Amino acid sequence: MKTPGLRKIVLLHGHPDPDRARLGYALADAYERGARAAGHQIHRVDVADLEVDFLRTKRAWETEMPAPEILALRERVAESDHLAIFFPLWLGTLPAYFKAFWEQLLRTGAPQNGKATAPSIFRGKSARIVVTMGMPAPFFRWYFGGYGVRSFERGILKIMGVAPIRTSLLGSVEGRDEAGYKRWMEEMNELGRRCN
Is 1 inside a domain boundary? no
Is 2 inside a domain boundary? no
Domain extent, residue 121, equals 8-194
Is 39 inside a domain boundary? yes
Is 13 inside a domain boundary? yes
Please state the domain count of the chain: 1
Is 3 inside a domain boundary? no
CATH of the domain at 157: 3.40.50.360
Give the global pTM. 0.92
CB neighbour list of residue 46: distance below 8 Å, 6 or more residues apart: 13, 15, 18, 25, 28
pLDDT tens-place values along the chain, 196 residues long: 456 689 999 999 999 999 999 999 999 999 999 999 999 999 999 999 999 999 999 888 888 888 889 989 999 999 999 999 999 999 999 999 999 999 999 887 655 544 445 558 899 999 999 999 999 999 998 888 889 999 999 999 999 999 999 999 999 999 889 999 999 999 999 999 999 9
Cβ pair 68, 124 in contact under 8 A: no
